[in-house]
Amino acid sequence: MRPASSIAGRILRVNLSTGRVWTEETLPYVRNYIGGRGINARILFDEVKPGISAFDPANRLILGTGPLVGTLAPCACRHNVDAKSPMTEGIGSGNSCGHFSAELKYAGFDHVVIQGRARSPVYLRIEDGRCDLRDASHLWGGTTGETDDRIKEDEGDETVQVASIGPAGENLVRSACLIANRARAAARCGLGAVMGSKNLKAFVVRGSNGVGAAHPRSFMEQVKEAWNKTRTSPTVAPYREWGTFRTPEVFNTLGHLPVRNFQDEFLDQGVLEGVDPARCRREYEVRRLGYTSCPVSCSHFYRVEKGPLAGLVCEGIETNDVLNFVSKLEIKDLAGVIQLHHLCSEYGLDQDNVSGAVAWAFECYQRGILGEEETDGLRLQWGDQEVVGELLRKTAWRGGIGDLLAEGSKRAADVIGKGSGAFAIHIKGQDSIEALRGSGRAWALGCVVSTRGGTHTRGANLVEMRDYPEEVYQRVWGVPKLNGPLAYEYKPHLVSYYEQLRAVNDSLGICNFVGNDVDPDLMGPDRLAGLFQAATGIRMTGEELMTVGRRIHNIEKAFNVLHAGYGRKDDYPPRRFVEEPVASGPRKGERLPIEAWDAMLDEYYELNGWDRETGLQTRECLESLGLQEIADRLEAAGRIGRSGQKGRS
């Protein structure tokens, strides 16, 4: 018999220090936290106490799928990874796609919770409700690709799904990430370093169990409708054709490119011409890729046929490569960008973070703060692809200057001093990727207030870039027609809305590319609630689902408050974005004036029910979400906000 729910029903727990393995039920968590990111956040908050460092064995590393993962729901192919972050000391949260997430569900588990530290390198093998720890000494030191190959050879099974760390994770590089399916990164926050601190090299998963639905007929009807809408959406079509690497010229016009470590937000046309997407597709693309139940297939596979990099093959490249390598470091050669992308995947480096540290070093070299005696004899000249590649290698193995860059730009600047902190562009300690001065104000606010420390995948959104009729804005987002991306009105509403909805997506296991900011006729709260109810049998409206999203967001914020002491002072953009206007291009002169930011922040806090003076949560807010015990913890720590604040004077 097929199961009568899409939920596997079990959470696998492993103590690496003792070797103990046990399970607990998933269902007690589901109504309040859904799955994926939501359940991960609750377990992390409950079990990792303030004072425990990111590399302490008592830190948890938690993988979670969602209730829709493993079903035919469109783009239900994602898993969340959570731990205390070595980058921010607050919530560490990464989200990734691939075949790995569905395979974990097929193996009989919704989540895996890792604690402790193994005495020697191991990997965790999971298959059909069973698991065991296996020696990984022969894998230690290998890249993620080498690890994937060797494990499949050892297992005698090409179909096992592998998520592993590379040398960066083993060496506790704070920008290390997990890589699934050789190329899909659970990036940001240094989660690969947490995994390395536990001597855990990889998760290896094989499953043959089914995933059912509580109401199969209703579920399949909704799935068919959702697939059809996704396939025919005019705004999804470019993702399918080009991936995310499709419009660098448009990004340049909109002020989305962090030129030379954010010194500007408009890139020289000569640099852009070298990375033309049409040429990339014509000369390097082999085929398009999509993962489990994905009607978008936004990922593309590339092969370099000619030149010094001939023979290089990898999955990529993304918009992030344009931001991190083309814009931030001025790499002009497409094959070179593909190589740098590949190196990050192989080393297990989050390119968003590591490129920030490298760009900081380049600007310090430009300004005479770092010389060749500090850079191991390397000349850090903008656009030098070979030097960037060498710095990635040094960072992954913590060799020479790489040992400094492995700490991220903020910590590196604290070590170097000499005013270098002005060029460490970070939010809450995590290196930034997003240019904010010329981009939309909802985009900027959403990136800065993100609980995981700077990211556009939480509250930031593209709604302000669209031009919809008044009726659409009112019906979907409950706001009047917007006055364009650079206006401030109603932007906190959009950020708060998407913080809740993205928490729901990450908890269900759904990709944001089928979300209603891409196309207002795609997946909003009501559609997601319908799929969730038909899949699980748990009744929940779209409004109730958004309340769960708000609950998850507040748990993450409370974790940050208790562990990292974050408050209002940490919800401001980097100083460069406030003080230095955009130097050139259509957005020339734009910056983020502090008075306008304060007004927007006041409104954002008020919408969330938080203390506008301090940015702290109030008891009323938390109790309305059923989080009284979290309010008690914050109050005991002297970190609870006061209600009824009128904002800053």
Output the domain CATH number for residue 183: 3.60.9.10
Supply the DSSP symbol for 476: I
pLDDT tens by residue, 411-434: 999 999 999 999 999 999 999 999
Identify whether residues 414 and 446 lie together within a single domain.
Answer: no
Residue 436 lies in a domain: no
pLDDT (0 to 100) of residue 254? 86
Please give the full DSSP string across 485-526, using - where no structure is assigned: TT--TTHHHHHHHHHHHHHHHHHHT--GGGBTTT-TTSB-HH
pLDDT for residue 605:
98
Is the residue at 634 inside a domain? Answer: no
**Predicted TM-score (pTM) of this structure:** 0.97
User: Do 44 and 185 have their domain in common?
Assistant: yes
CA-to-CA distance for 180 and 559, rounded, in angstroms? 27
Residue 355 lies in a domain: yes
For 19-78, the pLDDT digits (tens) are 999 999 999 999 999 999 999 999 999 999 999 999 999 999 999 999 999 999 999 999
What's the pLDDT score for residue 272? 86
Q: How far is the C-alpha of 340 from the C-alpha of 331, rounded, in Å? A: 10
Min mean pLDDT across 221-230, 276-285, 367-376, 536-545 is at 276-285
Task: Identify whether residues 70 and 196 lie together within a single domain.
Answer: yes
- Burial class of residue 569, CB neighbours in 10 A (0-12, 13-18, 19+): exposed
What is the percentage of the chain residues whose pLDDT exceeds 90? 90
Count other Cβ atoms within 10 Å, centred on residue 51: 9
Number of domains in the chain: 3
Taking the C-alpha atoms of residue 161 and residue 98, their distance in angstroms, rounded to an integer, is 9
Assign 446 a pLDDT band (cuts: 50, 70, 90): very high
The residues, ordered by sequence, that sit 6+ positions from 649 with a Cβ below 8 Å of its Cβ are none
With a cut of 90, say whether residue 193 has pLDDT above it: yes
For residues 332 and 256, membership in a common domain is answered with: yes
Tokens 């697939």 sit at which residue? 227
CATH of the domain at 364: 1.10.569.10
Q: Whose CA is closest to 512, among 497, 496, 501, 500?
A: 501
Q: Are residues 543 and 574 in the same domain?
A: yes
Residues 101 and 156 in one domain: yes
The rounded distance, in Å, linking the Cα atoms of 248 and 267 is 10
Q: For residue range 606-640, list pLDDT tens digits in order.
A: 999 999 999 999 999 999 999 999 999 999 999 99
Specify which residues 83 forms β-bridges with: 92
Contact 415, 404 (CB under 8 A): yes
**Residue type at 629?**
E
CB within 8 Å of 415: residues ≥ 6 apart: 404, 407
| C-alpha to C-alpha distance for 641 and 620, rounded to whole angstroms | 10
Q: Domain of 272? A: 238-418
CA–CA distance, 314 with 509 (Å, rounded to integer)? 25
Sign of torsion, CA 252 258 262 263?
A: negative
Give the confidence band of 645 by pLDDT, cuts at 50, 70, 90.
low
30 in a structural domain: yes
Assess contact for 244 and 298: CB atoms under 8 A. Answer: yes
Q: Report which of residues 25 and 253 the model is more confident about.
A: 25
Write the CATH number for 506.
1.10.599.10
User: Quick one: 408 and 290 in the same domain?
Assistant: yes
How much is the average pLDDT of 526-537? 98
Decide if pLDDT at 2 tops 70: no
Q: Are residues 197 and 243 in the same domain?
A: no
Q: What is the pLDDT of residue 649?
A: 36
Cα separation of the two ends of the chain: 64
**Residue 246 — very low, low, confident or very high, per pLDDT cuts 50/70/90?**
confident
Q: What are phi and psi of 576, to 5 degrees?
A: -55, -40
Q: What is residue 277's predicted lDDT score, i.e. its pLDDT?
A: 87
380 forms beta bridges with: none
Task: Clarify whether residues 354 and 248 are in a common domain.
Answer: yes
Residue 243 lies in a domain: yes
Is residue 393 located within the same domain as residue 471? Answer: no
Q: For residue 3, name the pLDDT band (cuts at 50, 70, 90).
A: low
pLDDT per position as a tens digit, 450-501: 999 999 999 999 899 989 999 999 999 999 999 999 999 999 999 999 999 9
Spatial separation of the C-alpha atoms in residues 498 and 427, rounded to whole Å: 19
Sign of CA dihedral 124, 125, 128, 129: negative
Res 140: pLDDT: 98
pLDDT-based confidence at 1, cuts 50/70/90? very low
CA gyration radius, the chain: 23
Q: Sorting pLDDT into bands at 50, 70 and 90, what band is 644? A: low
Strand order in the sheet with 184-186: 130-135, 122-127, 200-206, 161-164, 178-180, 184-186
**Same domain for 407 and 493?**
no
pLDDT band at 255 (very low <50, low <70, confident <90, very high): confident
Tokens of 526: 């009501």
- Residue 135 burial (CB count, 10 A): 13
Contact 296, 236 (CB under 8 A): yes
SS (H, E, C) 312-376: CEEECCCHHHHHHHHHCCCCCCHHHHHHHHHHHHHHCECHHHHHHHHHHHHHHHHCCCCCCCCCC
Nearest to 72 by CA among 195, 225, 236, 275: 225
**What's the mean per-residue pLDDT of the chain?**
95
Handedness of CA 578, 579, 584, 588 (dihedral sign): positive
Instruction: Give the range among 182-196, 201-215, 308-322 with minimum mean pLDDT.
Output: 308-322
The verdict on residue 628 lying in a domain is no
Residues 244 and 247: their CA atoms lie apart, in Å, by 8
192 part of a folded domain: yes
pLDDT recorded at residue 412: 98
Indicate left, alpha or beta for 228 from its phi (over 0: left) and psi (-120 to 50: alpha): alpha
Q: How far apart are CA 33 and CA 498, in angstroms?
A: 17
Four-CA torsion 622, 623, 626, 631, nearest 10 degrees: 60
Is there a single domain that holds both residue 244 and residue 342? yes
Contact between 464 and 498 (Cβ < 8 Å): no
- Which residue do the tokens 């207002």 mark? 520
Among candidate residues 457, 492, 465, the one with its CA nearest the CA of residue 478? 492
- Average pLDDT for 132-156: 97
To the nearest 10°, the Cα dihedral for 435, 441, 444, 449?
170
Decide if pLDDT at 648 tops 60.
no
> Is there a domain that residue 589 lies in?
yes
Other CB atoms within 10 A of residue 537 CB: 14
Query: Partners of 203 in the beta sheet?
Result: 124, 163
pLDDT for the residue numbered 275: 87
Percent of the chain with pLDDT over 70: 99
Q: Confirm if 15 and 116 have CB atoms less than 8 A apart.
A: yes
List pLDDT tens digits, range 111-125. 999 999 999 999 999
Helix (H/G/I), strand (E/B), else coil: 256: coil
Q: What DSSP designation does 640 have?
A: P
